[in-house]
Amino acid sequence: MKKLYSVLVIAILASLVLAACGAGGAKATNLLDAIKQRGYILVSTDPNYEPQSFLNTEGKRPSDTKCPADALTTAEMQGFDVDVAKAVGDDLGVETCFATPSWDAITAGNWADKWDISVGSMTITTARQQILDFSIPYYYTPAVVAVRADSGITDLAGLEGQSLCAGSATTYEQWLNHDMTGLGLPEASIYAQAPNVTVVPLETDQECAQAIASGRNDFVGYVTSATVVDANIAAGFPVVKLGTPVYSENLAVAFDKKSSLPSDTLRAEVDKLFTAMHSDGRLAELSNKWFSSDLTQDPS
Amino acid sequence: MQSDSTSGHVVKPAPSQAELLYEAQQRQTRNFRTNVGLSWGILLLILVYLFSGQNFLGIKTIHLDFEFIRNNMFFIAGGLGQTLLVSVLSIILATILALLAALGRLSTIPPIYALSTFYVSLIRGTPLYLQIFFFFLALPQLGIILTGLMAGVLALGLNYGAYMSEIFRAGLASVGKGQREAAIAIGMNPWQTMKRIVLPQALRFALPPTGNEFIAMTKDSALVSATGFVHEVMWRATRVGRAQFHNLEALIMAALFYWVMTLILSYVQGIIETRLSKGDR
């Protein structure tokens, strides 16, 4: 019996030691060099949003791709964010690959090196800056409230006491919850205070829009970016934008503060690229291509 | 066939009472099967009609965008391979764990018995959805970075292993005590008894329910899509559905694929079960 106990203890200790040794050694000393060495950059983006980032279901994965098996290639993805990510990859001279974790996993930080950067229209907020580093903004979207077309509501005051939907872990949810510190936007970017409403957070804002379109009445409207509402209206959803934008978001590329290799040189490279792309009009061109309007001018 | 001895010449013998009974039984079975088949057809037609978007005699039906379905059908079906891969890998892991846990449960050594019951209790006492996220989010802190697929397989395997350990335990218990005693009597040691006498009989008992668990697992594998890294049927359906605002159509397509897949697997399972039961006395 004693022998068996000791065998068990040894087995447990051995498995713990093995677990601790799981991490492999990397040669490069910063993320930029590591990316160049392996020949591809792994970008996380949330393919739930047309026209920002969505799947190209007809795209064929190239046979000579360097992307990991569970990552998607540029052929399988499309959208504004995807084109911006591709510009980053091209600038570094590497292939661009896409990881597709859920949005909360991206905004939560601690990526464990599963992907290098996030190019997913992420708003720079104070809360997110605690765990993530941001590039300079590559575009700006106005956030708006959309309501059911037959609701009869015409202004923000009319929403008092009603229910509004937002994607969970989005800035829209924070704005609705009056979480101004978490939102952390400059005063100049906030145009209106949220009315006192019951907030219904769903997995993404797309569920909010579809719930209304399917005839459910758990809430009268939802908060999301003007681009998403435009796409919803274009798809024939019975919603209207409520007045003017409520705030403006600065959208940027995010880097994990806890990545095992420092990302500062990579961030400097991305900043340099975006500055160039802002001034030579390449970003404006991409914006016109996907949104039919130029959203790359700083409104503040 | 025997000739009729009373009439003196050879005629086709009148069917015996037993033959008549047998035939009537056969006819009844055939009739029953035909009627079940017909009813299935009718139910299927009603289901199809419910999704036709037609408005007939004031009965409302569900309207679907068939163009979206046509355009994305093959893309969503492309995830079937991943779904099956996750399920097959997980059921292998689950079977191994279940067998170990069941053996541990029968053990008289306290730490081994405790380990087995602790594992089963912990895993059965927490939701599968949560376990999948746990392996995806917590293990990197220990330096173990699993891919989404591996985290999913680990969670599904551990989860089903815990549930299936009951099946294996029942399988082991189904082997009569007399069998073990007989094995010991002819001089086998416990290991030989387990390997030669108990396990072969227990596994035959445990195989059909394991097949059922596998079929159930093909559907639970949809939860693995939550981490976003396994591009199986459910992941593909939710992404194209959300981006193009057709969640309903996309999910119905996924449902159809899962259903067809379980129909096929159930059929295979039926064949295996008939085969295994042949040796039963």
Q: Is residue A2 part of a domain?
A: no
A170 shares a domain with A114 = no
pLDDT (tens digit per residue) in A197-215: 999 999 888 889 989 988 8
Interface list for chain B against chain A, based on CB atoms closer than 8 Å: 71-72, 75, 109, 111-112, 115, 136-137, 140-145, 147-149, 226-231, 235-236, 238-240, 242-245, 247-248
Cβ B143–A100 below 8 Å, yes or no? no
Task: Please say if the pLDDT value at position B240 is more than 60.
Answer: yes
CA distances from A23 to A19, A146, A292, B27, B144 (A): 9, 47, 46, 68, 6
Entry pTM: 0.77
Residue that wins the pLDDT comparison between A196 and A1: A196
pLDDT of residue B57: 75
Residue A107 scores a pLDDT above 50: yes
Strand duo A198-202 + A163-167: pairing: parallel
Chain A positions touching B107 (Cβ under 8 A) are: none
pLDDT above 90 (res B31): yes
Instruction: Write down the pLDDT at residue A6.
Output: 59
Class of domain B69-277: mainly alpha
Residue A16 maps to a domain: no
In a domain, A12, yes or no: no
Give the mutation candidate from A76, A113, A114 for the B interface (greatest B CB count, under 10 A).
A114
State the pLDDT at residue A34: 95
- Tell me the mean pLDDT in the region B121-125: 94
Report pLDDT digits (tens) over B154-205. Answer: 999 999 999 999 999 999 888 888 998 999 899 999 889 988 888 888 888 8
Query: Would you say residue A4 lies in a domain?
Result: no
Contact A70 B147 (CB under 8 A): yes
Give the residue carrying structure tokens 């379980």: B262
Which is more confidently placed, A80 or B207?
A80
> For B202-212, what is the mean pLDDT?
86
Residue A247 has pLDDT above 80, yes or no: yes
The reply to whether A103 and A168 lie within a common domain is no
Q: In the predicted model, is pLDDT for residue B113 greater than 80?
A: yes
| Chain B: residue whose CA lies nearest to A232 | B245
Average pLDDT over residues B72-79: 92
Of A100, A231, A237, the CB nearest to B228: A100
Buried/exposed code over A176-214 (b: 16+ C-beta within 10 A; e: otherwise): beebeeebbbeeebbeeebbebebbbbbbbbbbbbbbbe
What is residue A245's predicted lDDT score, i.e. its pLDDT? Answer: 92
User: Which pLDDT band holds residue A21 (cuts at 50, 70, 90)?
Assistant: very low
- Kindly state whether A91 is in contact with chain B, defined as any CB-CB distance less than 8 angstroms: no
Pair (A113, A186) in one structural domain: no
Q: How far is CA A219 from the centre of its chain?
A: 25
A159 and A39 share a domain?
Answer: no
Higher pLDDT, B205 or B79: B79
pLDDT of residue B228: 82
Q: Where are the domains of chain B?
A: 17-63, 69-277
Q: Answer whether residue B37 shows pLDDT above 90.
A: yes
Q: Within this chain, do residues A135 and A146 fall inside the same structural domain, yes or no?
A: no
The verdict on a CB contact (< 8 Å) between A70 and B149 is yes
Tell me how close the Cα of B103 comes to any Cα of chain A, in angstroms: 16
Of B111, B147, B228, the CB nearest to A102: B228
Neighbours of B258 (CB within 10 A): 19
User: What are the chain A neighbours of B75 within 8 Å (beta carbons)?
Assistant: 55, 57
Do the Cβ atoms of A54 and B140 come within 8 Å?
Answer: no
The answer on pLDDT for B10 being more than 70 is no
pLDDT over 70 (residue A16): no
Which one of A5, A19, A47 has the shortest CB-CB distance to B243? A47
- The mean pLDDT value for B93-120 works out to 93
All residues of chain B having their beta carbon less than 8 Å from the beta carbon of residue A209 are: 245
Q: How confident is the model at residue B3 (pLDDT cuts 50, 70, 90)?
A: very low
Average pLDDT over residues A98-107: 89
The yes-or-no verdict on residue B5 having pLDDT over 70 is no
Percent of all residues in chain A with a pLDDT value above 70, rounded to a whole number: 91
Q: For all residues of chain A together, what is the average pLDDT?
A: 88
Check residue B14 and give its pLDDT: 80
Greater confidence (B116 vs A104) lies with B116
Q: Is the ipTM of this complex over 0.85?
A: no
pLDDT of residue A126: 85
pLDDT band at A161 (very low <50, low <70, confident <90, very high): very high
**Cβ-Cβ contacts under 8 Å, A5 against chain B:** 111
Q: Which domain holds residue A53?
A: 28-139+250-291
- Higher-pLDDT residue of A65, B143: A65
Q: Is residue A257 in some structural domain? A: yes
Residues B238-243, mean pLDDT to the nearest whole number: 88
A156/A153 Cα distance (integer angstroms): 8
Domain count, chain A: 2
> Considering Cα of A242, then A247, then A251, then A256, what sign does the dihedral take?
negative
Q: How confident is the model at residue B8 (pLDDT cuts 50, 70, 90)?
A: low
Residue B225: other Cβ atoms inside 10 A: 27
Over the stretch A45-83, which tens digit does the pLDDT of each residue have?
Answer: 989 888 999 999 889 999 999 999 889 999 999 999 999
* Residue B30, pLDDT above cutoff 60: yes
Q: Are residues A210 and B245, on separate chains, in Cβ contact within 8 Å?
A: yes
CATH assignment at residue A51 = 3.40.190.10
A227 touching B, CB under 8 A? no
DSSP one-letter code for A190? B
Tell me what pLDDT residue A22 has. 43
Task: Write out residues 228-247 of A within 8 Å (CB-CB) of B.
Answer: 231-232, 235, 237
Same domain, A240 and A258: no
Question: Which residue of chain B is at minimal alpha-carbon distance from A57?
Answer: B75
Of B71, B111, B226, the CB nearest to A5: B111
Is A76 within 8 Å of B231 (Cβ atoms)? no
A107 touches chain B (CB under 8 A): no
User: How far B163 CA lies from chain A's nearest CA (Å)?
Assistant: 24
Predicted local confidence at residue A20, as pLDDT: 47
Q: Average the pLDDT over each of A131-145, A257-271, B3-17, B197-211 and give the range with the smallest value.
A: B3-17
Alpha helices in chain A (DSSP H): 2-20, 31-38, 80-92, 103-107, 126-129, 171-176, 180-183, 205-213, 226-234, 264-279, 282-291
Q: Shortest CA distance to B161 belongs to which of B89, B86, B101?
A: B101
Pick the more confident residue, A43 or A244. Answer: A43
A233 CA: distance to closest CA in chain B (Å): 11
- The reply to whether residue B109 touches residue A210, judged by beta carbons under 8 angstroms, is no
Query: In which band, very low, low, confident or very high, does the pLDDT at A12 lie, cut at 50, 70 and 90?
Result: low
d(Cα A269, Cα A266) in Å, to the nearest integer? 5
pLDDT tops 60 at residue A7: no
Give the residue, B59 or B238, on which the prediction is more confident. Answer: B238
A119, part of any domain: yes
The phi and psi torsions of A200 (rounded to 5 degrees) equal -110, 100
List the single residue in A with minimal CA-CA distance to B109.
A1
